Amino acid sequence: MKSRKVVRSKVPFRLGLAGGGTDVSPFSDIYGGAILNATISLYAYTTIEQTNNGKIVFYSPSNNIYEEYDSSEFIEPEGYFILHKGIYNRVVKDFVKQPLSFKISTFADAPPGSGLGTSSTMVVAILGAFVEWLKLPLGEYDIARLAYEIERNDLNMAGGKQDQYAATFGGFNYMEFYKDRVIVNPLRVRQHYMDELSHNLILYYTNTCRVSAKIIEEQQNNIINKNEVSVNAMINLKEQAYRMKEVILKGELDTVGPILDLSWQHKKKMANYITNPMLDAIYEAATSAGSTGGKVSGAGGGGFMFFYCPDVTRYKVIEALSKFGGELKRYEFTKEGLRTWTTY
């Protein structure tokens, strides 16, 4: 009996510690963007099972959603599996030039719209599985760039560039964004600094999701229209990314909280709907209980928040947040990005 070929991928989500939003065009094209991010032990997973029945099957085990198609070179990118279809179409168009037969299953440790780069990370997970299966000649920069092009150009989804590169490279990275290129600077952060940072930086899920496109589109319009408040806020966010890089490399971790707080004050000026009364109340409760600073993860509006809690203040902060009905997420920082393997 012939063995069945199965390909898997595992890709970490990220925390944008500073500079978030400066990777979005046209700001990054005009002024250049800078972000300090780090990947964490929450993941997106993909499994591709090679078949020979002339069918393409998309499956989400967590939601029990299943779609089946006859093999073809193009599947209309719509519905729940829009990312999967967009990636398949691009892989066929650019590389294999013929229909494929397979079943693809995907799963994520965090819901869409939660602010951890979930959609873009899933794109990297799916694309990485195809690269492993078909042995495509793509390196890390190639995979991240192609993932960005599929999501932003092929599928017309609003967003920046950091998530695809964070997911692909993994670890702590200081990233620079320009009109026609991205530079990833991996940081050599000492393990005990990483341990201390994950101990003091609590990750809190507000049990709300948001559609980031509306916030991002307003942010883009503010740059196009030269909104001085928004432009200056984003320039300040770039500066905080540079400061965050320095304090993490030096282990001056108690400076992280004030940088997060200053970044959050600037971020709220980028666009409306980045915050709301519920998020403001959560932030106030956390800082009143001892946190020295925090922010909403991602574009804003809901999803995950994280707070820096020096010494042993994390316990009082966790207690203060318990009344809001959210969920504390345990995690560690990871050193690796996209991982793929084949089994039979």
- 191-329: CATH topology is Alpha-Beta Plaits (3.30.70)
By annotation, the residues acting in catalysis are 163
pLDDT digits (tens, 9 = 90+) for 237-275: 999 999 999 999 999 999 999 999 999 999 999 988 899
Q: How far apart are the first and last CA of the chain?
A: 12
For 186-220, how does the pLDDT look when each residue is reduced to its tens digit (9 = 90+)?
999 999 999 999 999 999 999 988 767 788 889 99
At 1 the pLDDT is 43
Are 249 and 277 within 8 A, CB to CB? no
pLDDT at 328: 97
Quote the Cα angle for 95-99-101, to 5°. Answer: 115
What percentage of residues in the chain have a pLDDT greater than 70? 99
Q: Are 240 and 266 in contact (CB under 8 A)?
A: yes
pTM metric for this prediction: 0.96
Q: Which residues pair with 70 in a beta bridge?
A: 55
Report DSSP letters for 299-338, one per residue: TSSSSEEEEE--TTTHHHHHHHHGGGT-EEE---B-S---
d(CA 215, CA 110): 20
> 6-188+335-343, which class in CATH?
alpha beta
Domains of the chain, residue spans: 6-188+335-343, 191-329
**What is the pLDDT at residue 62?**
94
Average pLDDT over residues 175-195: 97
Location of structure tokens 């993941």:
43
Distance of CA 133 to the CA centre of its chain: 24
